[in-house]
């Protein structure tokens, strides 16, 4: 099982932004990991990314990726 891990914590800046204030409040991708289930995938994510303990992220959401179907979009 593949897992994707995200958080609602954090902010991002648009490309070429010169502002000190974040432009967008959104979700951040924390990482991707594999395991027998989402819990094992989360443990594996932490093992392979030890720096996560030092971040200010607190609440992480795990999403199981069950199929390999992708859709690609272009904003321009």
Domain spans of the chain, in order of start: 1-12+26-57
Quote the pLDDT of residue 17.
75
Distance CA 1, CA 41 (A): 8
Could you tell me the pTM of the whole model? 0.71
pLDDT surpassing 80 at residue 57? yes
- Mean pLDDT value of segment 45-51: 94
Quote the pLDDT of residue 42.
93
Query: Quick one: 68 exposed, middle or buried, by C-beta within 10 A (0-12, 13-18, 19+)?
Result: exposed
Between vectors from CA 23 to CA 60 and to CA 13, what angle results, nearest 5°? Answer: 70
Quote the pLDDT of residue 75.
61
């Amino acid at each position: 099982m593949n897992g994707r891990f995200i958080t609602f914590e954090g902010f991002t800046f648009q490309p070429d932004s010169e502002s000190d204030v974040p432009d967008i409040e959104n979700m951040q991708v924390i990482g991707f990991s594999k395991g027998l289930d989402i819990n094992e995938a989360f443990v594996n994510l932490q093992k392979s990314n030890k720096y996560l303990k030092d971040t200010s992220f607190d609440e992480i959401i795990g999403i199981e990726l069950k199929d390999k179907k992708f859709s690609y979009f272009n904003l321009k």
